[in-house]
Chains A and B, each alone.
Chain A
């Protein structure tokens, strides 16, 4: 009983209980429209919250403040690059995508070009992006469980996968959307309370930035936790300026391109716009989610700076100092919470971190289960499936994905959450972003052009992620958007121009996605 009153257990149990309750309430998924797009009934507030919930993953909740803490200005710049994408999505894609009224991301590609081949390639890309994205979320969940509840890494991965299979498999898109909206407000609430506590504690932005930028020397009370027993050395001037992550201007530009356009290519975010009742609600949802995400990003950078200020003061509790020295980037937010508000705020932050992970993973599960059950099984099945069979297929796909993601989660132990997510963005920016932008706005895109864009975008991204070390140093980008995104766009354009065979109903398609409702 005493254990249950510990805030971290209490808040986590409340969160899990709420998820079970909402999932149970929304378990009636009679047809594929209910399961994949929640019956298209969600208004701008709920869907806007859910989009933000989907977008603000563990990488943002834990990673961005952690990056700002460790690399300073470049962490803030990383956050800034993330903040651009949803706006581009709102300007060019949200409304037209909703007007098409499909179920999955691959539907867009297949219907636009009347091509089964394009559908299969789109499914492969969806699974690649969601794999890159889901693995670090599971890693985050397992790390938190291990750090705060003493479980093993493997247990954390399996436990989270089982929770997600239940959460998405039973609730479908309806339960997922409501849970995502609720979870968004839990973690935003946690951040707002942390910021209020920091300001109350005298950590004013202008003052702490001045102190940090002028700091040079050793950080007291850190030697007890370092391997060589010596206090850590810190140079505030380097931290305060650009250059610790992006070594030159072109790396910064590459990061902006990769992360900004990557959002347009994320299947779980694109899918959310199908759940609105109409295009107007889709646009408003996008604006709402941008407002929330922007606030969240701003607070994350500030909290990263607060964390650095607390660390440099060196008088936080030994537990906090130890976590800041040895815990890595992902432990910065929980450590700041402990320093500012003790165990209660830490409990809320842990619940917020789980909320971020569950929210993001559920979006990935829904998007990928649609890719397997709707895009592959239902479309390529020889017999006509009933609505019940389609929903059942989606549930089986979720179990399959749970196992697949769990295996990936086990393989990425020790990797950086933020970096893996950036790689998912790179694939999205180089594959779906060209197809969606050009597919919606240019009549000249052909089936072969689209397939070439998807294949070249995917292959170039994978090459730049796994084999960039064979290239000259100047071409080794951490976020290689500057190379892979133009390859994706150019492949679509050049092959379409050479091919020249556009679908005969392209004008009707344009009318469908652009005409006023």
Chain B
């Protein structure tokens, strides 16, 4: 079956049974999988940190609110300082990985040509 060109329109277009959908071409599949894998890995790392904070607050409050530096407890430190740095680092690493991966794809594509 010949693939339809994507049309930027909201006029009704042909539909197809999801089970009969042709496979994506190799290059797009590779791009989507690697992009998604990178995003998902970083999200898992990030959310392990994010969910560990409330888990610690509610299940190990003695650890969470034990003062480690003056009046700053582990939870205050993680929530108000580390979390802000972490958000930036995750996004920055993602952009850097993406740029590196983009170059790799470019090399593969040009070597195929």
Contacts and interface: CB of A to CB of B under 8 A. Distances in A.
Contact of A83 (B28, B55, B87): B87
B81 interface: yes
A506 B21 contact: yes
Contacts of A249: 54-55, 57-59
A103 B35 CA distance: 25
Given A253-B54, A441-B36, A508-B5, A80 B80 contact: yes
Interface stretch (A178-186, A290-298, A348-356): A290-298
A206 B71 contact: yes
A110 interface: yes
Interface string A496-517: 1000111111111111101110
Interface string A279-295: 01001101100110111
Contacts of A92: 39, 43
A115 interface: yes
Given A92-B39, A441-B36, A514-B32, A501 B17 contact: yes
A110 B12 CA distance: 10
For the residues of B in contact with A, the DSSP-based class is helix
A359 interface: no
Contacts of B67: 210, 213
Contact of A507 (B21, B36, B81): B21
Contact of A88 (B14, B43, B71): B43
A207 interface: yes
B95 A284 contact: yes
A91 B42 contact: yes
B91 A510 contact: no
Contact of A516 (B9, B71, B73, B106): B106
B3 A505 contact: yes
Interface of A: 73, 76-77, 79-80, 83-84, 86-88, 90-92, 95, 100, 102, 107, 110-111, 114-116, 118-119, 204-214, 240-242, 248-249, 252-253, 256, 260, 280, 283-284, 286-287, 290-291, 293-295, 297-298, 301-302, 379, 441, 443-444, 446-447, 496, 500-512, 514-516
Interface string B70-91: 1111011001110111011011
A73 B5 contact: no
9 contacts: A84-B87, A91-B90, A114-B9, A114-B11, A240-B65, A298-B80, A505-B13, A510-B24, A515-B27
Given A79-B80, A114-B11, A510-B24, A505 B6 contact: yes
A468 B33 CA distance: 40
Contact of A511 (B6, B72, B73): B6
Contacts of A253: 51, 54
Contacts of A515: 27-28, 31
Contacts of A446: 15, 18
Given A73-B79, A115-B12, A510 B32 contact: yes
Given A111-B9, A283-B98, A298-B81, A502 B73 contact: no
Given A77-B53, A205-B72, A514-B35, 6 more contacts: A91-B42, A111-B10, A214-B71, A249-B55, A287-B95, A301-B79
Contacts of B19: 500
Contacts, number: 213
Given A84-B50, A209-B71, A256-B51, A505 B5 contact: yes
Contacts of B98: 95, 283
Contact of A290 (B17, B42, B91, B106): B91
A240 B71 CA distance: 10
Which 10 A-B residue pairings sit nearest by Cβ, starting from the closest?
A: A206-B70, A210-B71, A209-B71, A508-B6, A110-B10, A505-B4, A252-B54, A294-B84, A249-B58, A501-B15
Nearest to A100: B8
Given A73-B75, A510-B32, A516-B105, A111 B8 contact: yes
Contacts of A302: 80
A77 B6 contact: no
A511 B31 CA distance: 9
A302 B72 CA distance: 11
A242 B57 contact: yes
A504 B16 CA distance: 5
Among B3, B13, B42, B80, the most chain A Cβ lie within 10 Å of the Cβ of B80
B28 A507 contact: yes
A379 B71 CA distance: 59
Contacts of A502: 15-18, 21
Interface in B18-66: 18-19, 21-22, 24-25, 27-28, 31-32, 35-36, 39, 42-43, 46, 50-51, 53-55, 57-59, 61, 64-65
Contacts of A443: 18, 21, 24
| Most interface-central of A253, A506, A515 (chain B CB within 10 A) | A506
Nearest to B6: A508
B89 to A, nearest CB: 9
A91 B11 contact: no
B5 A102 contact: no
B22 A507 contact: yes
B103 to A, nearest CB: 10
A61 to B, nearest CB: 16
Given A86-B91, A511-B6, A207 B71 contact: yes
Given A76-B76, A77-B79, A501-B16, A242 B84 contact: no
